Amino acid sequence: MSLISEIKGKTLVQSTSVKVTNPVDGTYIGSVPQTTEAEIKKTVQLSKEAWKQWRKVPVYHRAELLYRYSMLIKKQKEDIAVLECNEMGKRIIECRGEVTDACRVISGYAERVKHLYSEVIPTSQPGIEKDIIYTIRESIGPVACIVPFNYPLELYAHKVAPAIAAGNPVIVKPASTNPLAVKRLVEIGQKVGFPENLIQFVSGSGSKVGKWLVVQPEIAAVSLTGSTAVGVQLLMDAAPNMHRVYLELGGNDACIIMDDADIQYAVKEALAGRLQNTGQTCCAPKRFIVHNSIKDEFASLLTEELKKVKIGDPIDIDSELSCLISEPARDKVLKQIEDCKNEGADVFWGGEAVDQTFMTPAVLTNVSVDSSVATDMEIFGPVFPIIGFDSDEEAVNIANSSIYGLSGGVISRDTGRALRTAAKMECGTTVIGGSGLYRTTDMPFGGYKKSGLGREGMLNTLEEMSQLKTIVLKNIM
């Protein structure tokens, strides 16, 4: 019996399912359905029907429901945080913070949408003196929200909240490695009072389920956070139907540390930036471009601090570094370290496998400016490649040598020098006095070059999730 006819705003259920396990010890946690192509088509049709109703809902009522959504998530904060911790191995402290961030984003868009203003165009040319020209914003239709594994709750909110606020239904596809916390958010959303099928959940591999979703003609827009390779494929899949596409992709972010920097502070920033989420963060610093006069001291001080880091179970609040999302992910990082060694780098300290999915952080020295890790290799793990430079111009050239351009950082006691350097860096965000790991709910977040298309953030995403219409009242005055 087909279950397609039984889909009524609830999670799809089939006999084929994807098993979810704890990366710490491999224990079974739960499962999600493997959505079929036929169910994708039905889901999109249901989303289109929901859009007909939702786009007519007044802005103030959309905002009220989003506020309610945020409060319902907040009430389940601990349960959601523990679920995320168990299915992806992220430290419980970080998981709790991520739930809070998701609530902040959702309630933020509830407020922001009430202040999305139209414009009246001046009669600035002869012959239109009696006309009135003004703009309005309209919803665009079903939005496919493809959520990554590394910050599933926060990035769910960054995609779903503005789409709903702007009057659009959403279809959410999480990563197949850790979909359960996202599924919980969808289930909560289905109890808020939104129209039936406004928020729908599909699951399975990106190469199949994601592609099936993107190629549907009724989809209006796709918002993806993922790898550059996946983003390029998605662009090609979306092109025939002219979908709007928003991509936040890979990065090999540079942190430039000048010779006048407070070296202890620089080490502290490096640790905070690279160890968060075990290095599995798009905008984490992944290249440390350090002045040659302090490069050796930086490596030594960094290593001393890394030796003190407590690696342990993420549910333990005393743990300072957890595991990676999976054993293959950990093994890929270890292989990348070997690749760096083969290109001439030295492992100054660390870089060893621990248990099933854990590893010690690695400090790499003698990294050449033309090596893979100095340019285009994105290491999604706790690895610190240190690259030396002599002049500010050389530091900028190294930083800009990558195909990526997501975030960057400059650490110097000379603010003017740091500002001049930041202005020359080819990236979407540059942090002065920090590693580059920086994102707020409001700021436009996104990258240059192959780090993506578009920007996420309350300053501009509502505009991305709506379309502008010009209305002319001719000879009305």
Query: What pLDDT is stored for residue 206 in this prediction?
Result: 86
Report yes or no: 461 and 163 within 8 Å, Cβ to Cβ.
no
Q: Per the structure block, which two tokens stand in for 477?
A: 């005055």
Q: Which of 85, 103, 255, 282 is catalytic?
A: 282
Q: Which of 248, 378, 456, 464 is catalytic?
A: 248
Torsion-angle region of 214 (φ positive above 0: left; ψ -120 to 50: alpha; else: beta): alpha
CA-CA-CA-CA dihedral for 257, 260, 261, 267, to nearest 10: 70
DSSP type of residue 278 = G
Q: Residue 363: what are its φ and ψ, rounded to 5°?
A: -110, 120
Which residue numbers in the chain have pLDDT < 70? 1-15
C-alpha to C-alpha distance for 256 and 411, rounded to whole angstroms: 6
Q: Per the structure block, which two tokens stand in for 213?
A: 């979703």
Q: For domain 253-440, is the CATH number 1.10.3720.10?
A: no
DSSP type of residue 321 = B
CATH H-level, domain 4-249+452-472: superfamily? Aldehyde Dehydrogenase; Chain A, domain 1 (3.40.605.10)
Report yes or no: 327 and 357 within 8 Å, Cβ to Cβ.
yes
| Residue 463 known to be catalytic | no
Helix (H, G, I), strand (E, B) or coil at 392: helix
Report yes or no: 155 and 148 within 8 Å, Cβ to Cβ.
yes
Query: What pLDDT is stored for residue 3 in this prediction?
Result: 30
Report yes or no: 253 and 403 within 8 Å, Cβ to Cβ.
no
CB count within 10 Å of CB 115 equals 8
C-alpha to C-alpha distance for 148 and 162, rounded to whole angstroms: 17
DSSP H or E segment with residue 306 = helix 295-306
Neighbour-count burial for 202-239, b at 16+ CB within 10 Å, e otherwise: bbbebeebbebbbbbeebbbbbbbbbbebbebbbebbe
| Residue 85 known to be catalytic | no
Q: Residue 394: what are its φ and ψ, rounded to 5°?
A: -65, -40
- First CA to last CA distance, the chain: 63
Query: What pLDDT is stored for residue 15 in this prediction?
Result: 46
Q: Per the structure block, which two tokens stand in for 92?
A: 């419980």
Computed over every residue of the chain, the mean pLDDT equals 95
Domain boundaries, the chain: 4-249+452-472, 253-440
Query: What pLDDT is stored for residue 1 in this prediction?
Result: 24
Query: What pLDDT is stored for residue 124 in this prediction?
Result: 85
DSSP type of residue 64 = H
Q: Per the structure block, which two tokens stand in for 306?
A: 């890394």
C-alpha to C-alpha distance for 375 and 361, rounded to whole angstroms: 20
Contacts of 413 (CB under 8 A, 6+ apart): 258, 260, 261, 262
Query: What pLDDT is stored for residue 205 in this prediction?
Result: 87
Q: Per the structure block, which two tokens stand in for 19?
A: 């098993």
% of the chain beyond a pLDDT of 70: 97
Residue for token pair 């309005």: 136
Which regions of 126-238 does DSSP assign to beta strands (E)? 132-139, 143-146, 170-173, 199-201, 221-225
- Helix, strand, coil share (%) of the chain residues, nearest 5: 40, 20, 40
The residues that bridge with 471 in the sheet, in sequence order, are: 134
Query: What pLDDT is stored for residue 223 in this prediction?
Result: 97
119: exposed, middle or buried (Cβ count in 10 Å: 0-12, 13-18, 19+): exposed
Report yes or no: 328 and 356 within 8 Å, Cβ to Cβ.
no
Q: Per the structure block, which two tokens stand in for 423?
A: 């202005």
Contacts of 228 (CB under 8 A, 6+ apart): 249, 250, 403, 404, 450, 451
